[in-house]
Amino acid sequence: MSHLIETIDGAVDLILDSLPETIVMGMPLGIGKPNVLVNALYRRIKDNPNRRLHIFTALSLERPVGGSELERRFLAPFVNRVFGDYPDLDYVKDLRAGKLPPNIEVTEFFLKTGDYLSNAVAQQSYISTNYTFAARDMIDHGINLLVQAVAAREKDGVLTLSLSSNTDTSFEMIERLHAIPEHKFISIGVINSELPFMPNKAEVSVDFFSHVVTDPAASHHLFGAPNMTVTPQDYAIGLLASALVPDDGTLQIGIGSLGDAIAQALILREQNNQDYRSILDELTPCTTIARELDRFEHGLYGCSEMFVNGFLRLIEAGVIRREVFHDLTLQNLLNEKRISVIVTPDTLTALHEKGRIHSPLRAGDVEFLKHFGILRQGVTWLDGELEFEGKRYVADITQPAALQAIAAGLLGKRLAHGMFMHGGFFLGPEDFYQRLRTMPAEKLAHIEMHRIDFINQLYGHGDIARAQRRKARFINTTMMVTLLGAAVSDGLDSGAVVSGVGGQYNFVAMAHALPDARSVLLLRATRESKGEVQSNIVWNYGHTTIPRHLRDIVITEYGIADLRGQTDAEVIRRLIAVADSRFQDELVEVAKKNRKLPASYEVPAQFRQNLPELLESKLRPWNASGLIPNYPFGTDLTGDEMTMVAALQKLKYAKDHPLELAQLAFRSLFKENDAPQEWLERLGLADAQDLKTMITRRLFVGNL
């Protein structure tokens, strides 16, 4: 029986009074953390050296602050407007500042991307594990406190909870903790009224937790991940990837500009098909794989550890609409097109032929048929017959007359309890959360937040996951790819962790385990580091996330490289064909040196024009037309802020490029225009007295 706790302080008192000197606390990644409770407990233990706290989690989010004084000044009003009263986690602040007290440890299995590269404590405390094993690994460390932010609703005096964003590890954690004999632990759900109430698997009774905190002070804005600018390179990659997604299939994508680019490209394919085809013709991808360019007659099913804004836009555009059902026979019949989601007498016949139901129908058959909407809800089984509204029906569906009578009076109209989106957790901008909060119940019913050990793997779930995930395209991003096909996605060759493995390995493995699935890894062909352009396709690297024997499809802005089942030499040729042309010769040279390419090989002429300026010129008209806008799903930035951001980005770029900075400074000397006073005041440039501030003001204005 769950106990309700009215105050945060009361919950902290309970924790400290009930648990031993060392508290090992597990909590979900992302927005599922109950920040207010965590901060209150952290402060109490921080002030008491006789107690110890070990925190296990992932993706601890913090309001952005900027790396320079100019960035901080620009961001402050934006952050206050967008993040509102979102409370930063105290342990994150102390960890970043190197001020974690000696009696508190923080261990994460996925870090906010790139934020902790030079933080020794975070690097040393990181656990490298697949997302599917996170619950297991946390339990092995002796978790005795589980806390989670939850949504709540009350109806007829009964309080119901929703795990909302984070069904990912909670079910498995609770199951494993209960299975440990005599292990004392506390589980606490903390109500945050801002969390969307997600139905289906996410909906639980208050008894799911041992205690539930109802303190209104625990509610606050959710962390909103702002939409990023989608660059021409991102769009090229997204467009190419979208042409590999088959109708009637399964889709997985991630967060960020590449995920947005894919989603926008799929929407274009559905809503502006002729223009979509024209853009792809401009890109003229290098590929030996068949492309899918038609509109979506049947739609897609989304199955992704991360339910992101792009997926919601695809749902709203009608692209994500292929429903899956948690019954193997029913799902297989749908896959075979033997039946459809529209209920007909043939639905009953097909289920009977497959042995899923009997004839005459039995009581269990009737409940199954009612659950999935095949029979109307009021139908009952009584003494071997069917009854509805006082009328009896023969239950033998092999008799044509009986089947005809059932069809006329008892059949439902459409299959029920179908899901077109399964996700493990969600994260997005504020308008993403708001659209979930206000989504009509009948639409929201088709979105199910689920366990990560179901989303990210096949084993442990019979054949239902295989049947649902037909024609799957698991699309993930990576940082680098070696010429032999290995992928570098989470760390550097120094051992420094950039982010984490997450579910990438599992999705790649699933793509090889499913007969009609493919793994698609996306990467930009180049990156810039300290003013120097470098290739993201390299000969080899001291760290890999995906081994070369799991190589499949790789996409850069210059084309598609289908690597599955190819020889090493052919893999190298195909990757060089999608590499930036400025680096192709050195890649060829090193491959020849290591006897992986014949000495006579030369890069074909059609792949020698892989250059950013040519790509941008191809896509510029489509950007201007509004079909591939910089922010396809909107932005929290105002028009003024977007202008300021563009100028600040140019200024930041120039500081890393001395020649560009000199040219910028020279040009600014001859510009008489000025910026609006409120912009200058916001950036601290209005009253420029010292030389540095005057120069910065001049350069900023010169970039407008």
- Which residue matches tokens 């529209």? 342
What does the alpha-carbon distance between residue 448 and residue 428 come to, in Å, rounded to a whole number?
17
pLDDT tens digits, residue range 424-433? 999 999 999 9
- Domain residues for 205? 3-218
Instruction: Report the residue count for the chain.
Output: 704
Average pLDDT over residues 228-241: 96
Does 648 lie in the same domain as 679? yes
Average pLDDT over residues 657-668: 58
Residue 63 has pLDDT above 80, yes or no: yes
> What pLDDT is stored for residue 641 in this prediction?
87
Q: Using alpha carbons only, what angle is made at residue 36 by residues 438 and 23, rounded to the nearest 5 degrees?
A: 125
> What pLDDT is stored for residue 529 in this prediction?
83
With contact defined as beta carbons under 8 Å apart, do 15 and 145 qualify? yes
Tell which of 409, 433, 462 closes a domain: 409
Average pLDDT over residues 571-600: 98
Residue 294 has pLDDT above 90, yes or no: yes
Average pLDDT over residues 487-499: 97
Does 432 lie in the same domain as 334? no
Answer yes or no: is 618 within a domain. no
Does 427 lie in the same domain as 404? no
Does 455 lie in the same domain as 340? no
Q: What is the CA radius of gyration of the chain?
A: 28
Answer yes or no: is 624 within a domain. no
What does the alpha-carbon distance between residue 408 and residue 406 come to, in Å, rounded to a whole number?
5
Residue 667 has pLDDT above 70, yes or no: no
Answer yes or no: is 621 within a domain. no
Answer yes or no: is 226 within a domain. no
> What pLDDT is stored for residue 570 in this prediction?
98
Answer yes or no: is 612 within a domain. no
What distance, in Å, lies between the first and last C-alpha atoms of the chain? 62
With contact defined as beta carbons under 8 Å apart, do 172 and 451 qualify? yes
Answer yes or no: is 224 within a domain. no
Residue 152 — pLDDT band, cuts 50, 70, 90?
A: very high
> What pLDDT is stored for residue 671 in this prediction?
57
Q: How many domains does the chain have?
A: 4
With contact defined as beta carbons under 8 Å apart, do 157 and 200 qualify? no
Determine phi and psi for 176, rounding to 5 degrees: -65, -40
Residue 662 — pLDDT band, cuts 50, 70, 90?
A: low
Residue 663 — pLDDT band, cuts 50, 70, 90?
A: low
Q: Across the chain, what does the average pLDDT equal?
A: 94
Residue 128 has pLDDT above 90, yes or no: yes
Tell which of 376, 409, 442 closes a domain: 409
What does the alpha-carbon distance between residue 2 and residue 597 come to, in Å, rounded to a whole number?
66
Residue 666 has pLDDT above 80, yes or no: no
Does 188 lie in the same domain as 266? no
| Percentage with pLDDT > 70 across the chain | 96
Answer yes or no: is 489 within a domain. yes
Return the percent helix, strand and coil in the chain, to nearest 5: 40, 20, 40
Q: How far is CA 672 from the centre of its chain?
A: 46
pLDDT tens digits, residue range 29-59? 999 999 999 999 999 999 999 999 999 999 9
Does 542 lie in the same domain as 491? yes
With contact defined as beta carbons under 8 Å apart, do 239 and 275 qualify? no
Average pLDDT over residues 666-674: 57
pLDDT tens digits, residue range 435-466? 999 999 999 999 999 999 999 999 888 899 99
Residue 286 has pLDDT above 80, yes or no: no
Tell which of 343, 374, 409 closes a domain: 409
With contact defined as beta carbons under 8 Å apart, do 164 and 151 qualify? yes
Average pLDDT over residues 15-25: 97
Paired strand residues for 161: 152, 204
With contact defined as beta carbons under 8 Å apart, do 32 and 426 qualify? no
Does 205 lie in the same domain as 248? no
Does 132 lie in the same domain as 92? yes
What does the alpha-carbon distance between residue 545 and residue 59 come to, in Å, rounded to a whole number?
19
Does 502 lie in the same domain as 449? yes
Most confident of 194-198, 223-227, 642-646: 194-198
Does 34 lie in the same domain as 135? yes
From the list 65, 71, 66, 64, the residue with the least C-alpha distance to 651 is 71
With contact defined as beta carbons under 8 Å apart, do 474 and 508 qualify? yes
pTM value > 0.75: yes
What does the alpha-carbon distance between residue 614 and residue 28 come to, in Å, rounded to a whole number?
44
53, 351, 402 from 382: Cα distances, Å: 59, 21, 16
Residue 184 structure tokens: 């004392």
Does 358 lie in the same domain as 493? no
Answer yes or no: is 684 within a domain. yes
Q: How far is CA 577 from the centre of its chain?
A: 29
Q: Using alpha carbons only, what angle is made at residue 252 by residues 247 and 255, rounded to the nearest 5 degrees?
A: 130
Residue 658 — pLDDT band, cuts 50, 70, 90?
A: low
Q: State which H helix or E strand residue 397 sits in.
A: none
Does 152 lie in the same domain as 29? yes
**Exposure on the CB side of residue 249, measured as CA atoms within 13 A:** 23
